[in-house]
Structure 1
């Protein structure tokens, strides 16, 4: 089958998921202008993933894949019946088709990148890790799968994502070398369609164009880049000495190749996207398009569409009347709780975001959080706070009580999510040292280089909205809080608290606007969520591997979440400001615009801000398209989605040996049109102590080796991993057949792989001379030996005794 037909088949697969998820999405989002169609795909993906995850704890394979879609269909049928009982009319099929068209556009956009660079490379990322996980999933009989890089132990990494990817591979009958590229494009399309739906919905509810709001939402969430790109190009326009003097902050403080990189990254001919996340020293701060171009199957990348789903559920809660208590509880615990559970098995770093959205929804919504409690109990709990109309102090106390109760509700949502993800969280989470306070912080310049465009947009919006507040007391509180944070900013922006000084005023101003309804809507809640997550990285960090880099993993996993929520806010905000400017340019007076919550700043200032924001945010996308799609095409690169094609060309003998090995050690399991190779005997190859073409056999087959990539130190600890590495050296190099037999027995090794890497790194002994070890496959580059443990038992005694 041609690759065009393969892409068409996957589009049909995603269309089927969308149709199956539509009744559930429609029930959850009844007031969405597109009938909930934009959220149908993340809903369906979540249901399939979690169903296969739970069934897979007992049995995983083709029948699991079929069962997951049967459960989705059944759930959709129940949701359809529930909708009929509530008197819902027919489906808005035109809008549903339009939503799927938006998904398809995002899907094909990322496929264009992958087709020009499809290889599952071991360099410059962790595609080898994710390829190995998918291969291990497709061979396993139950979850969690055996770790392909640490034989005899279950994986200690998120296996929720490869669960869905394996199900998709089985249902579409797609060979593994294509699955990574197709699923990464599917996750991007899910982000695009969900962002379009939510931002269009928010803009529509404000009385503005849904299509404009949706398009701007997609731009800011999925296509925009950070501000540093435009700054680097601007620096390159300065005299060379001046650029070198003032440009270092844009390239990490201690970057060794500065100033060479300054001129490379400021020129069209030498610009590269890889350096865009390297701005603040000791951090990796990505945005969605960067992550999807990099195309590792990391949870922080591919679960971004589910962050949008969590925000949509929060907005649906906000729109639900107080007397619909059951629906509000369902949205919180059945909706956001389920999303938190999904995050638990796919990207635990995002669980707090789902919980946080539940908290912010309860704070923002008109119904008091106490009304979630039954009857008189809710009334009594609410009465514990004073009437906010009594005095300013009473208002502050009442607000604090609402916030505390909302936090209690959010904790319940978190407990629900933890329970749903408990099979993973209780057994497979890598070791860590908990949470640390006050890590190395970011300067004000660093924050502005990364997020300056978004922050400028938010500040312009908040200033214009505050100018329209009619409630004098609310305006006074807002101005007082603004003055306080401005004073903090002035006194700290030159020190290492500069990042906090920049971010805190925006969060505070957005929070007050959120609570006072300062001519704003739910977008201010999203500002609090997005900028608040960026602020959180200045205050706390997860103490995880690599421990010597305090914020390395925290910024990598959290910054992109902050960007998604901030982008969701930026879409409707930009739509509102653009319309304000348009109306003003049409001859309306500024006074009349202020009365309708228009710009308090001059139209020219707002116009300049909008122009800067749009230009600064839009530079990354065309540059990366030019360098990663257009240039390879002009150079004659033939597009393909085959992730193994380069491996077959560069390492033909090794790949041929792997193909024989993969089929020789297992059996083919078939159900209807689906089939896979099962079986996972332990073998040994050289441990991958660095990136690149390391551990290719375990990676590209999913078969478990004794020791794999150095990543395992983060999952198992340094000492256990290094012991395995040492044992592998003994196994290859010893001339004592008793010592080798003991190592083979220790890990129950069934096969020994000897290829170019093993011969380059070890003085490989004559394995075939040992009793119980015989060659079963050989070509010019590779010899594979089979171990017969019964024969080994007769050659060991004493301290090196064979232990079956």
Structure 2
């Protein structure tokens, strides 16, 4: 294990924490914790945005210095008392209690250490079971880049057409710590995980203060649900074993009917357990949750961008609790939302609209009237709102949407190089409506979201205090009936949460910002049952559900921390909750729950925690049973020497060879004119572009992912050209080697599997390296034969 590197990264995060504390203390000044658990993502955001912009001209040291200078300047400005500076005095304006700082530090350190341990037992960037080749290749490409975006390692001569913000953060952190890419991959994974868990802890703890909840209880529950909990399918799977013999098969058949599990697998119990299957529950979708994602170990945007989504939620919360008269602060907070949204477009484009939607909901559901944000709008709004309660709510929502549109314009400006360049691709993407046959069944939705649903239902029902429960029950049954009739089971799941949450927030019920997060997550669950992005990344709506469900989990985890802690604490006085939100009141009165009620609440919470822990205990336990050959390590490429020793030396040679700038290797597709080539498996396997993926040296054409970035015509044109380079005559080869500015040609098992035996005997091409099963040819383009020469393939 590389303990010195681990310590070096912890020092980096401590420095980011120190720089970020003044920023978040300004964000949440009237809270006990001052938002300290959000300090690292806040500091990272301030560091990376200027680095990204400077990197468009000069990436490397200039971009890194720009980010560091802006971060230090922003931190100092936030920390100092501007009024005292005008008087010639140097005074701090930030006062952070020691307890919350210690809590955040402990949560971050434990989370970081946990993920470092997990990665040390499985550090390799294996191409199967994920997109580690893509992620690692992007890191290597960024290390080679002189400007942003970096050159695409799977489409030489072009720039990356993919969101790469998490890889950019990782590269900056690697430079700051002097860490080679092969170690930075896993250390960054651990850091992103710790940033998420700590941010959720802080948001849940801070929102919980409005209900007089223990910071550690609310924050701890939130951290558990984002860092360790799973969906309910594993609990049901193992719970079957406790049933009487006659009930096991019927229950297994019911679960199999609503998921991708088979009856045989369910009845096998522990013997067939795999960490993988719990993420494939609803048919034809991917239902990842955070622990699965980090066990799988991709350095992917849907994971690395999560802490910034929580930061956006925290800004929304800061707006939510700002009193209406403080108009200047409310406007400043709203200005921060587009900045985060712009960064999320670069980092994880799927999260870009979610950040803006959080701003919309925060404005619409905050106690402060949103009409006051716009001069002169109050009078017009008063006339509309006076007609009915429905008109009043519609007016609030309309103003919030208008503010969001303006925010979207700012966000696009923040991410202008991305939207005008990187995001423009040759592939076709459309937003299409889902037919009933593609939608999720009720059983699958309950298996995936059930723990959150019962927790939120119990919480909202305890706060609403409905005088006529028949209306409430009738509403649920109406949603169920409509959902059944139109084939939209999500209505049964999400509509009650949206309606009851909205009503609770806009009435005198003792709820707060946690309910805004509940409504936001429920909206996303419904959205992916109505529309999807039709693209090449997987069949149907698979990728849409995949990228959206992670956001649902991240939004619901802090809400769950407040909800479950609130159930244990009892129901507070509505008036005191409102007072605490608007005026930062010091305490909240509680109506007080009887001993039996509190005991039932504790039992209920324990049941949810235990049922969602079973997967984590089994998956982490099996994960840690056997480490990599040679002992635990954070070296992401050690597996190459272990499992592909015949190619390891050649990959190292290419990685260190500064003259290598464009590579030819077999394309990452087994499609061949008239059928498939001789390789048994290509995509998501070692046969697909190991050289370019592990070195960052751009290949003329790589994985078939490029179809989604460039379109099928551009991709398969290059595939045909690469085929011609390996199989054509000297004149054809020379023309194509010149056209693509090729410097090296890779010949290994994958190339022989596609083309048979390959040799080059022509002017301008010579053997540069030979080891194991690999021959690397070097191309001297000035010495290549002219197009009319007829030298042939030997």
Q: Which of residues 305, 308, 315 in structure 2 aligns to 1:303?
A: 305
Corresponding residue number in structure 2 for 1:710: 704
- Checking the alignment, whether the CA contact within 8 Å between 2:204 and 2:561 is kept in structure 1 is yes
SS, match of residue 380 in structure 1? helix
Name 1:790's counterpart in structure 2: 782
Asked if residue 162 in structure 1 is aligned to residue 180 in structure 2, the reply is no
Larger displacement relative to structure 2 (129-138 or 708-717): 708-717
Once the 2 structures are TM-superposed, how far is the Cα of residue 187 of structure 1 from its aligned partner?
Answer: 0.6
Aligned to 2:584: none
Distance 1:781 1:572, change over 3 A: same
**Residue in 1 that maps onto 2:678:** none
Correspondence for 2:68: 69
CA 479–142 in structure 1, closer or farther in 2 if over 3 Å, else same: farther
* Match for residue 764 of structure 2 among 772, 775, 778: 772
SS in 1 for 2:156: coil
The corresponding residue for 1:345 is: 346
Query: Is 1:751 aligned with 2:744?
Result: yes
Distance 1:790 1:168, change over 3 A: same
What does 1:437-456 correspond to in 2, within 5 Å?
437-439=433-435, 440-456=438-454
Deviation at 1:87, TM superposition (A): 7.7
Shift of 1:24: 1.2
**CA-CA distance at 1:602 after TM superposition:** 5.9
Aligned ranges for residues 481-496 of structure 1 at < 5 Å? 483-490=474-481, 492-493=483-484, 496=487
Deviations 1:347-386 (A, max 9, x none): 0111111111111111121221111123xx1333433423
With over 3 angstroms needed to count, the CA separation of the structure-2 counterparts of 1:50 and 1:745, relative to structure 1, is same
SS at match of 1:273: coil
* Partner deviation per Cα, 1:747-798 (whole Å, 9 max, x = no partner): 121111112222232124421x111111122223222111122222435369
Q: Is 1:681 equivalent to 2:658 in the alignment?
A: no
Q: In 2, distance between residues paired with 1:518 and 1:601?
A: 23
Question: Separation in 1 of the partners of 2:405 and 2:782?
Answer: 56
Q: Name the stretch that deviates more: 604-613 or 777-786.
A: 604-613
Match of 1:781 among 773, 785, 788: 773
Equivalent residue pairs, number:
753
1:638-693, Cα deviation, whole Å (9 max, x unpaired): 21111111112222342222222222234xxxxxxxxxxxxx61110111221111
Are 2:214 and 1:214 aligned? no
Structure 2: gaps (5+ residues): 85-90, 573-587, 670-682
Q: 1:652 to 1:458 in 2, by over 3 A?
A: same
SS at match of 2:786: helix
**In structure 2, how many angstroms separate the alpha carbons of the residues matched to 1:157 and 1:248?**
41
Preserved CA contact (<8 Å) 1:121 1:127: yes
1:504 Cα offset (Å): 1.2
CA deviation profile, 1:681-734 (whole Å, cap 9, x unmatched)? 111011122111121110111000011112111111222212222221221122
**How many angstroms does 1:110 deviate by?**
1.0
The match for 1:49 is 48
Paired position in structure 1 for 2:416: 422
Which range moved further: 337-346 or 772-781? 772-781
Q: Counterparts of 1:622 and 1:254 in 2: how far apart (Å)? A: 22
Aligned mates of 1:274, 1:731 — CA distance in 2: 39
Identify which of 64, 88, 93 aligns with 2:93: 88
Matched, 1:626 2:626: no
Partner of 2:550: 560
Contact 1:113 1:628 in 2 (8 A): yes
Provide Cα deviations, 1:180-236, integer angstroms capped at 9, x if missing partner.
100011011001111111111111221121111111111122221111111111223
| Distance apart, 1:434 and its partner CA | 2.7
Q: CA deviation at 1:497?
A: 2.1
Tell me how far apart the structure 2 counterparts of residues 770 and 244 of structure 1 sit (CA, whole Å).
68
| Aligned: 1:729 with 2:701 | no
8 A contact 2:258–2:444 mirrored in 1? no
Deviation at 1:133, TM superposition (A): 0.3
| Secondary structure, counterpart of 2:505 in structure 1 | helix
Q: Provide the secondary structure at the position in 1 that maps to 2:432.
A: strand
Structure 1 position 150 matched with structure 2 position 151 = no
Determine the C-alpha separation between the residues in 1 that align with 2:570 and 2:397. Answer: 33
Conservation of the 8 A alpha-carbon contact between 1:350 and 1:561 = yes
Q: Offset of 1:240 from its aligned partner?
A: 6.4
1:534 paired with 2:525, answer yes
Deviation of 1:17 (Å):
0.9
Alpha-carbon offset, residue 175 of structure 1? 0.8
- Contact kept, 8 Å, 2:248 with 2:267, in 1: the verdict is no
**Cα offset for 1:57?**
0.5
- Return the alpha-carbon distance in structure 2 between the equivalents of residues 705 and 224 of structure 1: 40
- Alignment deviations for residues 92-113 of structure 1 (CA, whole Å, 9 cap, x no partner): 3553243122111111111111
Q: Give the drift of 1:493.
A: 4.2
**Whole-angstrom distance in 1 between the partners of 2:537 and 2:596:** 47
SS in 2 for 1:525: helix
Q: Shift in Å at residue 511 of structure 1? A: 1.2
Matched residues in 2 for 1:552 and 1:352: separation? Answer: 19
Which whole-Å CA distance do the structure 2 matches of 1:119 and 1:112 have between them?
Answer: 13
Secondary structure (helix, strand or coil) at the match of 2:784 reads helix
* RMSD of aligned Cα (Å): 2.7
The aligned residue for residue 700 of structure 1 is 694
Deviation at 1:62, TM superposition (A): 2.8
Alignment partners' CA distance in 2, 1:529 and 1:636: 45
Matched, 1:462 2:456: no
Structure 1 residue 321 displacement after superposition: 1.7
Q: Secondary structure at the match of 2:768?
A: strand
What's the offset of the Cα at 1:132? 0.3
CA distance in 1, matches of 2:430, 2:30: 41
Cα distance per residue 1:562-610 (max 9 Å; x no partner): 111111111011001112399xxxxxxxxxx998285999667645543
Normalised to the residue count of structure 1, the TM-score between the two structures is 0.89
Q: 1:458 to 1:594 in 2, by over 3 A?
A: farther
Q: What runs of 5+ residues in structure 1 fail to find an aligned partner?
A: 388-392, 470-474, 583-592, 667-679
Residues 66 and 249 of structure 1, relative CA distance in 2, 3 Å threshold: farther
Q: Which moved more, 1:240-249 or 1:753-762?
A: 240-249
**1:494 & 1:259 partners in 2: Cα distance?**
28
What's 2:578 paired with?
none
* C-alpha contact 1:37 1:96 (8 A) present in aligned 2: yes
TM-score (norm 2): 0.90
CA distance in 1, matches of 2:83, 2:112: 32
Q: Tell me the SS of whatever aligns to 1:427.
A: helix
Among 180, 204, 208, the residue aligned to 1:175: 180
Aligned residue number for residue 294 of structure 2: 292
Moved more, 195-204 or 88-97: 88-97
Structure 2 residue 498 is the aligned partner of structure 1 residue 497: no
Q: Distance in 2 between matches of 1:254 and 1:366?
A: 41
